[in-house]
Structure 1
Amino acid sequence: MMISRLVKALLLGWACFTVSAEKSNSSHSSKINARLNQIRDTMIPPSMYQEAMFHLMSYYAPLDATSELCRNHSILYQEAFLNDTLWAAKMFDASSKIGEGVNVGAFVGLGSYEGCLMVDVPGLFKGQHCLVEVTGILDFLFEASHVTKYTLFPGFNLDFAFSMCIPSTCTVQDIRAHMDVALQEINASSIINDNSCSKKEPTNLRLSDWIAIYILVLLIAAIVLSTWYDYFVCHNPSKQNKILTAFSIQANTRKLLHVSKSSDSLSIVYFLRFFAIVWIVAGHRFNVVLAAPSPNLLTIEKYLTVWWNAPILHMTIAVEIFFLLSGLLVSYNFLKSRNCGKEFNLFQYYFHRYLRLTPSLALVILLEASLIYQVSEGPIWKRLIGASTKRCEENWWSSLLYISNYVHPYSMCMVQSWYLSVDMQLYLISPLLLIPLQRNANRGLKIILVCFIATVVASFSNAWFFGLQGGGNVSRNKKVEINHGAEYVLTHVRAASWLIGLALGYFIYEYKQKGRKFIMNQALVVFLWAASLGMCILVVFSITPFQQPSYVYNPVIDSLYIALKRPLFSIGVAWIVFACVNGFGGVINSILSWKVFQPLATLSYGIYLSHLALQFIDIGRTQVLYQFDMYILISDTISDVVKSTIFAYFLYISVEAPFAEIDKWIFTKAPVVKKEENGNTVTIHLESTNVETKDAKSKL
Structure 2
Amino acid sequence: MNYKQFSHSPDVSLSDENTSMMYGLGKASLKHLCLQPALQEVLNLEAQHIIQLHLFLIQHSDPHQTTKQCITCTEKLIEAIILQLNESEYDRMPAIFDLEPYHPCLRREDGVYCLLRVDLHADEDNELMQLIRGYSEHTVKHFNYTYLQRGVCVSTTCRDFMSDKTEVISRVEDLGGILERCLNESLFKQHGLQAKLSTVYNCDKQNDEITYDTLDWIVAVCFLIILAINIIGSCYDYFCLSKMDKNNKENRFLSSFSVFRNWKWLTEYSAPEPRMEKLKGFHCVKCILMFFIMFDHCAWMNVTFTNYPLDYERYYDTWGYQLVNGGMMLVQMFFVLSAFTLAYNLLLKSEKMPLTWAIYPKIILLRIWRLSPAYAVVLAFTASWLRHAGGGGDPLWQLAGGSVAGACQRYAWTHLLYFNNYVEDNKACALHTWYLAADFQLFVLGLAVMVGTRGRTRHVALFVLFLIGLLLPAWQVWLQDLDAIVLKKPEFYRSFHNSTFRKMHISGHANIVCCVFGLSTALLVYRLQKNKVDLSRNKILKHMCWFVVPGVMVLLASCAVFYTAERASLLTRMTVAALHRVVMATISSFVIVALVMRINKPISRLLEWGGWAVPGRLSYCVYLVHLNMVHVLLARRTHLSQVSMYNLALNFVGVYGWSHVVALVLHLLVEAPTSRLVHAATAAHLKTA
User: How high is the TM-score relative to the length of structure 1?
Assistant: 0.75
Structure 2 unpaired stretches of 5+: 1-89, 122-131, 156-166
Residues 172 and 662 (structure 1 numbering): CA distance in 2 closer, same or farther, change over 3 Å?
farther
> CA separation of 1:315/1:689 partners in 2, compared to 1, >3 Å: closer, same or farther?
farther
In structure 2, C-alpha distance between the alignment counterparts of 1:158 and 1:199, rounded to whole Å: 28
Task: Say whether residues 1:524 and 2:531 are aligned partners.
Answer: no
> Which residue does the alignment assign to 2:299?
286
Structure 2 counterpart SS, 1:191: strand
The one of 88, 94, 117 equivalent to 2:106 is 117
Q: 1:675 is matched with which residue?
A: none
Partner of 1:165: 154
- 392, 406, 411: which one pairs with 1:395? 411
Any residues of structure 2 matched to 1:140-539 within 5 Å, and which? 140-144=134-138, 146-149=140-143, 159=148, 161-166=150-155, 169-170=169-170, 174-182=174-182, 183=184, 186-235=193-242, 240-258=250-268, 260=270, 262-265=274-277, 266-290=279-303, 292-341=304-353, 344=356, 345-376=359-390, 377-408=393-424, 410-411=426-427, 413-437=429-453, 439-440=454-455, 442-470=456-484, 473-475=487-489, 480-512=497-529, 514-519=530-535, 522-526=538-542, 528-529=544-545, 532-539=548-555
Question: Residue 108 and residue 613 in structure 1: after superposition, are their counterparts in 2 closer, same or farther (change >3 A)?
Answer: same
For residues 450 and 171 of structure 2, the distance between their equivalents in structure 1, rounded to whole angstroms, comes to 60
The number of residue pairs the alignment matches comes to 559
Q: Deviations over 1:550-581 (max 9, x none)?
A: x4421111222222112201211211210121
Matched, 1:669 2:652: no
Offset, 1:392: 0.3
Distance 2:137 2:297 in 1: 26
Tell whether the 8 Å contact from 2:340 to 2:518 is kept in structure 1 after alignment.
yes
Contact in 2 for aligned 1:196/1:383 (Cα 8 Å): no
Map 1:481-630 → 2, pairs under 5 A: 481-512=498-529, 514-519=530-535, 522-526=538-542, 528-529=544-545, 532-549=548-565, 551-630=566-645
Tell me whether 1:646 sits opposite 2:658 in the alignment.
Answer: no
Counterpart-to-counterpart distance in 2, 1:349 and 1:257: 26
**Residue 287 of structure 1: how far off its partner (Å):** 2.9
Q: Which amino acid aligns with 2:611?
A: V
Maintained 8 Å contact 1:276/1:318? yes
Alpha-carbon distance in 2 for matches of 1:425, 1:373: 31
Retained in 2: the 8 A contact 1:104–1:295? no
Tell me by how many angstroms 1:666 deviates.
2.3
8 Å CA contact 1:285–1:633 kept in 2: the answer is yes
Aligned mates of 1:243, 1:157 — CA distance in 2: 59
Q: Which moved more, 1:517-526 or 1:326-335?
A: 517-526
Deviations along 1:505-543, one digit per CA (max 9) or x if unpaired, are 11222223x253145754321454356545422211111
Q: Is the 8 A contact 1:536 1:573 kept in 2?
A: no
% identical aligned pairs: 20
Instruction: Give secondary structure in 2 for the equivalent of 1:375.
Output: helix
Deviations 1:88-124 (A, max 9, x none): xxxxxxxxxxxxx95698532212211111112xxxx
Change in 2 beyond 3 A, CA 1:415/1:102? same
The 3 A distance-change label for structure 1 pair 231 and 379 is same
Distance 1:104 1:474 in 2: 23
1:191 deviates by: 2.9
Tell whether the 8 Å contact from 1:113 to 1:378 is kept in structure 2 after alignment.
Answer: yes
Residues in 1 aligned to 2:141 and 2:361: alpha-carbon distance in whole angstroms:
49
Q: Does the aligned pair in 1 maintain the 2:111–2:153 contact within 8 Å?
A: no
Shift of 1:279: 1.0
Counterpart of 1:302 in structure 2: which amino acid? R
Q: 1:585, CA displacement in angstroms?
A: 2.1
Partner Cα separation in structure 2 for residue 661 and residue 312 of structure 1 = 38
CA deviation string 1:39-65 (max 9, x = no partner): xxxxxxxxxxxxxxxxxxxxxxxxxxx
Q: Work out the CA distance in 2 between the residues paired with 1:409 and 1:502.
A: 33
The letter for the 2-side match of 1:305 is: D
Cα distance, 1:147 vs. partner?
Answer: 4.0
Q: Structure 2: how far apart are the matches of 1:558 and 1:477?
A: 21
Q: After superposing the two structures, state which structure 1 stretch, 537-546 or 277-286, moved more.
A: 537-546
CA distance 1:148–1:650, shift in 2 (3 Å): farther
Structure 1 segments unaligned to the other structure (5+ residues): 1-100, 121-125, 151-155, 671-686, 691-700
SS at match of 2:112: strand
Counterpart residue number, 1:657: 672
| 2:535 and 2:597 in contact (8 A); partners too | no
| Amino acid in structure 2 at the alignment position of 1:142 | S
**Contact 1:323–1:501 (CA<8 Å) still a contact in 2?**
yes
Mark the CA change 1:230 to 1:520 in structure 2 (over 3 Å): closer, same or farther: closer
**Residue of structure 2 in register with 1:688 after alignment:** 687
Kept in 1: contact 2:119–2:147 (CA 8 A): no
Q: How far 1:644 moved relative to its partner?
A: 0.7
Task: Pick closer, same or farther for the CA change 1:240–1:534 going to 2, 3 Å.
Answer: same
> Post-superposition shift, 1:159?
2.5
Q: What is the distance in 2 between the residues matched to 1:352 and 1:168?
A: 60
- Alpha-carbon displacement from aligned partner over 1:222-281 (angstroms, at most 9, x marks no partner): 111111111122117877333212122111111111153745311221111111111111
Contact 2:537 2:599 in 1 (8 A): no
Kindly provide the amino acid, as one letter, of the partner of residue 563 in structure 1: A
Query: How far apart, in 2, do the equivalents of 1:157 and 1:434 lie?
Result: 53
CA contact (8 A) 2:117 2:147 kept: no
What SS is found at the alignment partner of 2:99? coil
Note the C-alpha offset of 1:371: 0.7
Distance 1:172 1:323 in 2: 54
Q: Secondary structure at the match of 1:445?
A: helix
Quote the residue 1:54 is aligned against. Answer: none
- Compute the displacement of 1:391 (Å): 0.4
1:635 deviates by: 2.3
Contact map agreement 1:270 1:598 (CA 8 A) in 2:
yes
- 1:211 offset after TM fit, Å? 0.9
Mapped partners of 1:279, 1:158: distance in 2: 32
Distance in 1 between residues matched to 2:111 and 2:179, nearest whole Å: 18
RMSD of the TM alignment (CA)?
Answer: 2.7
Counterparts of 1:641 and 1:253, CA distance in 2: 21
1:311 and 1:642 map into 2 onto residues whose CA distance is: 23
- Letter of the 2:115 counterpart: L
TM-score by length of 2: 0.76
Contact 1:259 1:595 in 2 (8 A): no
C-alpha distance in 1, partners of 2:201/2:172? 6
Query: Secondary structure of the equivalent of 1:669?
Result: helix
Contact 2:139 2:491 in 1 (8 A): no
Letter in 1 for 2:290: I
- Which whole-Å CA distance do the structure 1 matches of 2:688 and 2:148 have between them? 59
SS where residue 109 of structure 1 aligns? strand
